[in-house]
Amino acid sequence: MEFDFNTYVKKMVSKEDIDQYSKELENIKKKFSQGYPELCWYDMGKYVDNQELKRMIQQADDLKRISDVILIIGIGGSSMGAQATIQALSPYFRRRRPEIIFVGNDLSSEYLIDLQNYLREKDVSIHVVSKSGNTMEVITVFELFQSWMYKKYSTEEVKRRIVVTTSSYDGKLMYYATKYGYEKFHIPNVISGRYSLFTPATLFSMALADIDIISFLRGAKEGRIYLNQAGIYAMLRRIFFDHGKVIEGFAIYEPKLSKMVEWTKQLFAESEGKNEKGILPVKLIYTRDLHSLGQFIQEGNPILFESTISIMKTRTFQVEKYQETLSNINHIIEKSVCQAHLDAKCPTLLMKIEELDAYHLGELAMFFMMSAAMSSYLFHVNPFDQPGVTKYKEIVGKNLRSI
């Protein structure tokens, strides 16, 4: 990876700004080498060993062999990581077998009815993911499809076709897995859902999509060398916030990274959005959004800064009009936009990955996870809880019990 936290930030950050947070940042970085349990994702080798990886790959191969469609049922951290990595690392128009369909992100009965109709003549398997084992949306959708599966297949056949991933030993998912003998994978209990990218919650789903999870984890492990850059990124975000820039636009020029930005949005928003603090993340898909939100960024309320993810090497072809490749034209636009937005007092933090493959995506994911944790510490909030989410769940539960 390469980073440019200077070219498109010029004169918007002073030495005094940096001095304000430098000592605190150094103390925060030390946490990553001190064995804090909630930071265990920083060294997932302690939790996901080679035997576990082999078991995931073998189980994924078994499901792929018998399935036309695999449903991945989850929400939030139990789904976004898998959606992000699978979209980023899959061809745009591949006719995949098995087809991967994500469900549990909403409770649309229209969608679920159409989905069941679509699946009527197909062989179906399920990977259901919930860290708590009790997430309302996930359990509701899983119970619906579990019942549907038992009408479609024999008891033994359903047992072959359902895999459960959870951390809880007393949640509903573990109850079903134990009762019916489903294959199980475990999420370490100390890991928050949005930091579970390097656990079976995401890795098993990636294996179902034929993604090289070994290379992904190797990239994540080696991505730890960017701890200092992740700290600088976190500190600059905090400084921008002090300057009234309360919105961060995650900008991409490759739509395959769209779900990756959705994962990043959850990572930062849920980690640091507490005690009336934090930065609101939004997604900017360029060049599309230059023709909609671009006007606001250029001349509207100056409350936004950008974090741009750039891919240095992509497949491409020649554009004769400009005697240039389309990829280079895209990069020229990228630099032009960064300069134009800087002129409008919208700074850009630039992160470059060499190419879009499992290894480099693992590096990028580790960078963002380290940054989100450090950024939250700089806001003096706990990066690993989500009391606001818990609050809405309590109200939903109370209203459902009153029906």
The model's pLDDT over 326-368, given as tens digits with 9 standing for 90+, comes to: 999 999 999 999 999 999 999 999 999 999 999 999 999 999 9
Residue 69: pLDDT band by 50, 70, 90 thresholds?
very high
- Give me the phi and psi of 297, to 5 degrees please: -65, -40
168 has pLDDT over 80? no
Other CB atoms within 10 Å distance of the CB of residue 147? 10
**Given 270, 272, 306, 334, the catalytic residue:** 270
Selecting among 10, 11, 179, 291, the annotated active-site residue is: 291
pLDDT of residue 144: 97
Q: How many Å apart are CA 15 and CA 70, to the nearest integer?
A: 53
The residue with tokens 């250029």 is 298
Alpha carbons 265 and 281: distance in angstroms, whole number = 5
Helix (H, G, I), strand (E, B) or coil at 251: strand
Catalytic residue among 221, 243, 277, 393: 393
Mean pLDDT value across residues 13-36? 94
Phi then psi dihedrals of residue 386, to 5 deg: -150, 65
Q: Can you tell me which residue has the tokens 């098995």? A: 98
Residue 279 CA, chain-centre distance (Å), reads: 17
The answer to whether the bond into 287 is cis (omega within 30° of 0) is: yes
How many residues are given for the chain?
Answer: 403
Q: 93-128: per-residue pLDDT in tens? A: 977 789 999 999 999 999 999 999 999 999 999 999
Catalytic: 291?
yes
Q: Indicate if the pLDDT at residue 25 is higher than 80.
A: yes
Pairing of strands 324-325, 318-319: antiparallel
User: Which domains are present in the chain?
Assistant: 2-33+219-388 (3.40.50.10490), 40-211 (3.40.50.10490)
- Tell me, yes or no, if 222 is annotated catalytic: no
* Radius of gyration of the chain measured on its C-alpha atoms: 22
In one letter, which amino acid is 382?
N
Measure the CA–CA gap between 241 and 281, rounded to whole angstroms: 12
Lowest mean pLDDT among 187-191, 295-299, 357-361: 187-191
